[in-house]
Amino acid sequence: MRILKYLCKDCIETDLKADSKDEVLRLLAEKSEQVCPGLDGGALLSVLKEREALGSTGIGGGIAIPHGKIAGLEKLSLLLFRSLQGVPFNALDGKPVRIIVLLVAPEDAPALYLRVLARISKLLKETNVIEALLSAEDREAMRDILAKADSGTI
């Protein structure tokens, strides 16, 4: 499975300006509403906040993977945000997050949802992938890095 088919060019933000986890979640929901057909940003924000209430999706190492399922959504989508300054996110290691990948999936696609979540988690555990994403010059470079990581060439 290649995750890039779920990440559009317009779904990448190279310099997220946010000061808190709540602000990040709000911006993710707003952007998702713009790029995901039929997605209600308010509903997504509620789902993301409910998920965060269970435990932070900040997995450590400067990474957060907020995720949720939405009824009526047409297809699974990924959004990739980079924060150059870092955002407090209550991550497991207590450090700010700099790479945020949102996974939003149709409620009726639990198997695909879990496979993509596992794949993203695996790719973002690679230090060289994170370093490359943090130093990428633009959206296209970030997309290329994920493509290389996904194919095992980085």
Distance CA 57, CA 51 (A): 8
Instruction: Report the residue count for the chain.
Output: 154
- Cβ–Cβ under 8 Å, residues 139 and 14: yes
Q: Which of 67, 69, 82, 143 is catalytic?
A: 67
- Alpha carbon distance, N-terminus to C-terminus of the chain: 17
Active-site annotation holds for 139: no
Tokens (6 digits) for 19: 């000061």
Look-up of token digits 């700010």: 96
Catalytic residues: 67
